[in-house]
Amino acid sequence: MRESVRPLLAACAVALAWFLAIAPAAQAPETIAFRGARLLTAAGPDIPDGVLLITGGKIAAAGPRGQVEIPSGARVVDAKGKTITPGLIDAHSHIGLGASGGETEDNEGSDPATPQLRVIDSIHPDGMAPDIDQFKSAAAEGVTAVIARPGSGNVIGGQSALLKLRGGTVDDMVLRFPCDMKMALGRKTGYAVKGQMPTTKMGAAFLVRKAMAEAADYQRALQRYEKEKGAKPDAEPPARDLAKEAMLKVLNRELPVHVHVATADDIMTAVRLGEEFNFLRLSLVHAEEAWKVAATLAERHVAVVVGPVMVTYDDENHAINLAQALQQKGVEVSITTDADVVQQPFLRFQAAVAVKHGMDPAEALKAVTINPARVAGAEQRIGSLEAGKDADFVVFDGDPFDIQSRVLDVFIDGRRVR
C-alpha cells in the first residue's frame, strides 16, 4: 500500500467511527415532557399535577409528578395550570361527505342495500364546506379522530372508517378500515321508492335478513367450489359478488354492525337482528328512545352513540339527559355531533350539554374518548392517556367542558397540528 494512501484511509476510519457514534443519537426520536398539568386520562382517576411523556409519537408515560422520571435530554414543557385530555373522538360523523341538507356523498340512492360501498371513496379531504377545511377546523377544537360513516338513506349503507384528522389524503387519515357496517332501521331511513321495498319498518328488517341469507348462500357456494376444484379441474367458482363479500364479513363476525335507529321498537328490532345473526358487536346511533329499553341494552352489551339530540322528554314532559340515563343503567355511551348536523368542532360542547344536565364529567370524557375508540375497535391505539398508545392529546387552558376554556395545543401522533 502506498504511504500516500494511509493518511486518507486513517481519516476515513476516523470519520466512520464518528458517524457510527453519533448516528443513533441523531436518529433517536425527541422526548417531550409536559410537566405540571392536570391530566384527565380517561383510564383512571384525574391526576392534578402530572407528567405526560411523549417519545416517537407514542405516550411513554402518564402519571403524577414525582412518579414519572423525565429522561435526561428531554424537552420539558411547563404545563402548570393547563389541562390535558386524550384527543377527542367522534363516534359517528359525515365529515367530508357534504353539507347537511345539501348535495351529499353519503347515500347511494340506486339501491336500498349497498354493503359493498366504502365511505373512504366519497370523502373529500378538504371537507367540501365552502372556504372551510372541516378537518382542520375540527382538529383545532381538539377532535383528533372520527368514525366516518355512510348516510342513513339506505337500509345497508356501506362500510365505515376510523380516520385521524391529519394528512393530505384519505389514505393518510385511515386508522382502521373497514371498522363496521352501517345500517338503518325504521321510518327515518330515506330510501322509499313507490312499489319497491322497503316501504315499512318490517320491510327494512327483512332486507337485512335477506342480505345475511344471501351471504350465507354465497359462502356455501364458495366452500363447494373449494372442495370440487381438486377433483374437477374445470370447476368454476361462483360469480364474484362484492355486496355478498362485504356481508360475509358481518356473517363471519369479522365486522361489527352500527345501526341508525330512533324508537324503542326499532331499537329492539336491531337487537333481535344482532342476536339472530350473532353480530360481532352492535352499536346504535341517535336512539332517542333508548332510555326506555336501557336495561336490555346493558344486558346485551349494546353500545349507544348519543346525539345530536342530547336531551329528550318522557310522556309527562320531564327532561331526560339521554347519555346520563343510559350510562347509569350500565350502557356504554359515546357522544356524537352527527357532523354535519352539528359542526364537528363542537364535539366537546355536545358532551358539555350532558354534563350541564347532570352527567359525571369523567363519564362524559369517556364518551368522547375511550368509548368511541372501543366502538371502532381501536382502544389499544387511541382514546386514553396510557403508556404505549398513540400520542393524540389536547391541551386546554381550563376545564374541557367549560365553554369558555380554549384549546391551546392539539397533537396527533406526537406532532402538533394546532
Helices first, then strands: H and E counts in the chain: 11, 20
CB 384 within 8 A of CB 41: yes
> Could you identify the residue written with the cell 358532551?
351
Window from 198-202, 277-281, 288-292 with minimum mean pLDDT:
198-202
As a whole number, the mean pLDDT across the chain is 90
In the numeric block, which cell numbers belong to residue 382?
387511541
Residue 232 has a pLDDT of 84
Window from 11-25, 223-237, 402-416 with minimum mean pLDDT:
11-25
How confident is the model over 166-187, as pLDDT tens digits?
988 999 999 999 999 999 998 6
Reply yes or no on whether the pLDDT at 282 is more than 50. yes
Reply yes or no on whether the pLDDT at 406 is more than 60. yes
DSSP-derived 3-state class of residue 215: helix
Which amino acid makes up residue 7? Answer: P
Residue 235 has a pLDDT of 86
Average pLDDT over residues 76-80: 97
CA distance 393 to 369: 10
Residue 13 has a pLDDT of 58
CA distance 333 to 74: 38
Residue 12 has a pLDDT of 58
Residue 7 has a pLDDT of 58
> Residue 14 — pLDDT band, cuts 50, 70, 90?
very low
CA distance 274 to 384: 29
DSSP annotation of 178 reads S
In the numeric block, which cell numbers belong to residue 270?
336491531
Reply yes or no on whether the pLDDT at 114 is more than 70. yes
CA distance 400 to 87: 11
Residue 71 has, within 13 A of its CA and on its CB side, a CA count of 13
Residue 26 has a pLDDT of 46
Query: How far is Cα of residue 412 from the mean position of the Cα atoms in its chain?
Result: 14
**Could you count the other beta carbons within 10 Å of the beta carbon of residue 300?**
13
Reply yes or no on whether the pLDDT at 22 is more than 70. no
Residue 6 has a pLDDT of 61
DSSP-derived 3-state class of residue 224: helix
Average pLDDT over residues 152-175: 95
Residue 142: which residues within 8 A CB-CB, separation 6 or more?
Answer: 85, 87, 88, 347, 348, 394, 396, 400, 407, 410
**Could you count the other beta carbons within 10 Å of the beta carbon of residue 221?**
15
Of 362, 345, 270, 293, nearest to 38 (Cα)? 362
Residue 328 has a pLDDT of 97
For each of the domains in the chain, give its residue range(s) and CATH number, in order of start. Answer: 6-81 (2.30.40.10), 88-383 (3.20.20.140)
Reply yes or no on whether the pLDDT at 1 is more than 70. no
Reply yes or no on whether the pLDDT at 163 is more than 80. yes
Q: What percent of the chain has pLDDT over 90?
A: 78
How confident is the model over 34-75, as pLDDT tens digits?
999 999 999 999 999 999 999 999 999 999 999 999 999 999
CA distance 238 to 223: 10
CA distance 280 to 209: 16
> Residue 233 — pLDDT band, cuts 50, 70, 90?
confident
Reply yes or no on whether the pLDDT at 273 is more than 60. yes
Helix (H) or strand (E) holding 328: helix 322-328
Dihedral sign (CA 407, 412, 415, 417): negative
CA distance 327 to 304: 9
Task: Considering only residues 103 and 79, tell me which one the structure prediction assigns the higher pLDDT.
Answer: 79
> Residue 24 — pLDDT band, cuts 50, 70, 90?
very low
CA distance 20 to 13: 11
Reply yes or no on whether the pLDDT at 364 is more than 60. yes
Q: Are strands 143-148 and 161-164 parallel, antiparallel or unpaired?
A: antiparallel
Q: Is 168 exposed, middle or buried (0-12, 13-18, 19+ CB in 10 A)?
A: exposed
Torsion angle, alpha carbons of 192, 269, 253, 217, to 10: -60
Between the CA of residue 267 and those of 90, 118, 183, 203, 312, what are the distances in Å?
21, 25, 12, 15, 16
Residue 344 has a pLDDT of 87
CA distance 335 to 325: 13
CA distance 118 to 58: 29
